[in-house]
Amino acid sequence: MRQLRAWLLRFKGLFLKNARERELADELESHLQMHIDDNVRAGMSPAEARRVATMKLGGVDQTKEAYRDRATIPFIESVVQDLRFTLRQLRKNPAFTVTATAMVALGIGASVAIFAFVDAALIKPLPYQNPSRLLFVTETTPEIPRANFSYPDYLDWKKLNRVFDSLDIYTQRGYVVGTSAGTEIVYGARVSDGFFRTLGVSPFLGRDFYPGEDLPEASRTVILSYAAWQKRFGGKKEIIGQPLILNEIPHTIIGVLPENFHFAPVEDGEFWTTIHAAGDCDLRRSCHYLSGVARLKDGVSVEAALADVTRIAKDLEAQYPDSNRNQGATVAPLSEVIVGDVKPILLLLLGGVALLLLIACINVASLLLVRSETRRRELAVRRALGATRMRMIRQFVIEALVIVMVGSTAGLIGSHWAMQILKGLIPTDMIAGMPYLNELGLNSRILMFAGGLAALATALFSITPAFRLSNLDVREGMAEGSKGSGNKVWTRIGSKLVVLELTTAMVLLVGAGLLGKSFYRLLQVSAGFETKNLITMRVRAPVSAYGEDPQALALQRKVMDEVKSVPGVTSVALASTLPLSFNGNTDWIRFVGRAYNGEHNEVNVRGVSSDYFATLQANLLRGRTFADSEDISKPKVVVINQTLAKKYFPGEDPIGQRFGDLDLNAKSIKEIIGVVDDIREGPLDSEIWPAYYYPINQHPDFVYSVVVRTSQAEQSLIPTVADAIRRIDSRINISSQTTMTKRVNDAPTVYLRRSSTWLVGGFATMALLLGVVGLYGVIAYSVSQRTREIGVRVALGAQRSSVYRLILKEAGMLALAGIMIGTGCAILAASLMRKLLFSTPPWDVTTLICVAAVLGASALLASFLPARRAASVDPISALRAE
């Protein structure tokens, strides 16, 4: 207690300097006076009396010094002195100060911004109870590594497994809800009753689904997401128990989910209902549309779980050879499924930004080195005046601290903006699938990360000049104009640092180059149709009015007629699923007149209108396309893609051939009437699957996409087209209004590559710039140190060109070393990001050569300036200068 009080008073003493000093001076003065008085009384002369008194006191200044040490905290006081000195020094050298802090700010800011994304996606735990015990569980097929469950299969797995505490399922779905403006499609999911219990999430308001509430006979209920509750119901608590019409069916609202809940596989899920398995698909073992989430039993490993579900799949395959042939099982940590796509990109960006930070730090360190070189005299003087080694090192540490603190603070502020900008660049469709980014921002983990970086940088920046101290010779340092051996030391370390910088720049440039090339290659991939001037939108008509075939068919024709009459529209088509969406929505087919041994010939199935291929400008290779008149009353016909033709009819003419379902039911038999060049149904970087296209008129539907070819800029026509469709029936819902070009550009495969190309490209550009500046610094310094030598050479008759050669050779060696080492490292680094490359090998020679050329040219340019200065040295003044 007393000690604490004393420390506090001493701390306070740091700030009351003047008053205290004055008081002490007064006190000592009165002390001396009293002593002198006594001495005089004892018979001394006044001068003698003062001398004795002062001596007895032990010196006024020494007393003051000892008193000061006790009145304040000497360590802090000297730190404050050092700090003042540092600030003065930094203010005197603004170019250095600004450059150094800006580099620290850049490095730390960029690192923190990228780390924040990594944190949000990969580090922060998912908002479920004990998320590491949650698994994503589904069936697999040879073509689809993560296929879906069918409902009967799910029920069997749930019953037969021995490894899960619980296994539940979900499937995303859209719900049509009435709004004041008409209808809207809102996303949500159908889940089994225990879904939220498996995740370990309890509603924030109301209740969870009861066990059994997902059965067909249970009444229909819905749980709202927090966002839906706020947005659609104004956050009113009385909403529990109220009715809500979803897809024209009344539901009762029973709960609201917590605010922080998210489940990425169901993008933006607002309404959560139960499965209510009743439809044809729900009951069929071959209709796969569900995904599973399971909680592992305590002590069970992921491998054991996989073995167990594989056993179940095998048993089911034996039991149901028709439907379950080749249906395997797969499990994966849930977090991997949620963030799997962005993980390699984020790690790549983190790696890139780490390299950038490294370069920035090296640059600052070499700036500090140069500075310590020019401060040799100052250091030597301080040393000669008795500064201890520790005190001088402390000075460097304080300097480093000031630079790093200012830099990191600026960097942190900048990173906050950078995060928002980066997040804003993600297309809205994609951000819906990344709900974990909602809470992106500075949190304690990120601040700790920034603090760690700052500490490392401070250590680096204090060690660099302190190292210089070790070979500081006081006498030599103080000698005016002497160029001691120290500068050679610096040139040696400096050149190593520059090689390191150039290597890093090379790695980043190659990375950016390879990504850019992959991106370019990806865009070169033919979609199989003309993507320009195409509008697409999704139409959903009310099932009550258009659920029956005749009405649906009539509406399909009406929609096409109305859209065709819009000025600027050249042709219109309908499709059950748009191209460039996904491989899936498949059928298992069996060919008529061929041996069959139960294999699953899995092919994509798309229902399209008669003008579809013409509208897409796809290339019909053989046969014919459909006529509009080919509807339910006509024999079933299909157009197949080239991949199907090649795979199943090698060297044969497929036209006229027929296939059907696995049992060859008479109703399912279809005749092939045409072959179309492959249209890419999945993403650009995916494989092309066999596919067949059937006339949508033979299976009229009330939900489909409309594809519109325009003769003018398509974007501006979107609202007119949508209005034309709405005029037919105001209850028709239109969603996903966009253009094909936008769909291509915003597709995750394209977007992720484009964004990583730009970001890594940005890092690489900065790295190149910093590396080249670093090289310039070393060469320029070297030239300044060698002015005298060059002067002598010129005086002895050296040609200007040989001076150029001398300097350029020095720079060239450094650049060459950087490029050589960099090439090796770059190939290694590129192998690590192979997943992100597309038809580009990590050792792509053109990229390596181009990058080496760019780096070499930049290095040449950077060394040309100092070389010219060296060549123009005037021998007389160079010799006279020293």
Partner 1 sequence: MSKSEIWQGTLALMTLKTLDTLGPLHGYGIARRIEQTSGDRLSLNYGTLYPALLKLEQEGWIASEWGVSENNRKAKYYKLTRAGRKQLEREAKEWNQTTAIVARFFEPVEDQS
355: CB partners within 8 A, 6+ apart: 504, 507, 508, 763, 767
Tell the smallest beta-carbon distance from residue 21 to partner 1 (Å).
Answer: 13
Closer residue to partner 1 (CB): 7 or 582: 7
Tell the smallest beta-carbon distance from residue 81 to partner 1 (Å).
Answer: 20
The DSSP H or E segment spanning 5 is: helix 2-13
Tell the smallest beta-carbon distance from residue 391 to partner 1 (Å).
Answer: 22
Closer residue to partner 1 (CB): 11 or 596: 11
Helical ranges in 119-225 per DSSP H: 151-160, 195-199
Token couple for 213 = 């509430």
Tell the smallest beta-carbon distance from residue 54 to partner 1 (Å).
Answer: 10
CA 363/CA 360 separation, integer angstroms = 5
Tell the smallest beta-carbon distance from residue 31 to partner 1 (Å).
Answer: 5
Tell the smallest beta-carbon distance from residue 13 to partner 1 (Å).
Answer: 9
Angle between helices 845-871 and 800-832 (to 10 degrees): 150
Residue type, 550: P
Tell the smallest beta-carbon distance from residue 356 to partner 1 (Å).
Answer: 51
619: CB partners within 8 A, 6+ apart: 528, 676, 677
CA 648/CA 656 separation, integer angstroms = 14
The three-class DSSP label of residue 417 is: helix
Closer residue to partner 1 (CB): 28 or 80: 28
Tell the smallest beta-carbon distance from residue 112 to partner 1 (Å).
Answer: 43
Q: Residue 533 to residues 271, 387, 711, 722: CA-CA distances in angstroms?
A: 35, 77, 7, 16
Tell the smallest beta-carbon distance from residue 768 to partner 1 (Å).
Answer: 59
Tell the smallest beta-carbon distance from residue 55 to partner 1 (Å).
Answer: 9
Q: Do residues 678 and 643 make contact, with C-beta atoms less than 8 angstroms apart?
A: yes
Angle between helices 845-871 and 486-524 (to 10 degrees): 140
Half-sphere exposure of 96 (CA within 13 A, CB side): 22
Tell the smallest beta-carbon distance from residue 490 to partner 1 (Å).
Answer: 45
Angle, vertex CA 534, rays to CA 676 and CA 581, nearest 5: 65
Q: With 0-12 CB in 10 A as exposed, 13-18 as middle and 19+ as buried, what is 882?
A: exposed
Which DSSP letter does residue 548 get? S
Closer residue to partner 1 (CB): 55 or 390: 55
Closer residue to partner 1 (CB): 6 or 215: 6
The three-class DSSP label of residue 44 is: coil
Q: Residue 820 to residues 127, 355, 504: CA-CA distances in angstroms?
A: 47, 17, 11
Tell the smallest beta-carbon distance from residue 19 to partner 1 (Å).
Answer: 13
Closer residue to partner 1 (CB): 15 or 582: 15
Helical ranges in 386-478 per DSSP H: 389-424, 428-432, 444-470, 474-478
Closer residue to partner 1 (CB): 66 or 448: 66
Tell the smallest beta-carbon distance from residue 47 to partner 1 (Å).
Answer: 19
Q: Residue 405 to residues 101, 391, 408: CA-CA distances in angstroms?
A: 9, 21, 5
Q: If you count them, how many residues does the chain have?
A: 882
Helical ranges in 42-73 per DSSP H: 46-57, 60-71
Q: Residue 828 to residues 6, 344, 507, 831, 856: CA-CA distances in angstroms?
A: 60, 16, 9, 5, 21
Smallest CA-to-CA distance from 285 within 156, 159, 138 is with 156
- Residue 538 pairs in a beta bridge with 705, 735
The three-class DSSP label of residue 125 is: coil
Closer residue to partner 1 (CB): 33 or 130: 33
Tell the smallest beta-carbon distance from residue 51 to partner 1 (Å).
Answer: 14
**CA dihedral for 338, 339, 340, 342, sign (positive or negative):** positive
Tell the smallest beta-carbon distance from residue 759 to partner 1 (Å).
Answer: 58
- Which positions touch partner 1 (CB under 8 A)? 2-3, 5-6, 9-10, 23-24, 26-28, 30-31, 33-35, 37-38, 56-59, 62-63, 66-67, 69-71
Residue type, 345: I
Tell the smallest beta-carbon distance from residue 350 to partner 1 (Å).
Answer: 52
Tell the smallest beta-carbon distance from residue 49 to partner 1 (Å).
Answer: 14
The DSSP H or E segment spanning 602 is: strand 601-608
Closer residue to partner 1 (CB): 49 or 337: 49
Q: How many helices (H) and strands (E) does the chain have?
A: 30, 21
Q: Residue 881 CB: number of other CB atoms within 10 A? A: 11
The DSSP result for 801-850, as a single string, is HHHHHHHHHHHHHHHHHHHHHHHHHHHHHHHHTGGG-SS--TT-HHHHHH
Residue type, 208: D
Closer residue to partner 1 (CB): 63 or 745: 63
Tell the smallest beta-carbon distance from residue 12 to partner 1 (Å).
Answer: 10
Token couple for 735 = 């969603």
Closer residue to partner 1 (CB): 38 or 548: 38
743: CB partners within 8 A, 6+ apart: 536, 578, 580
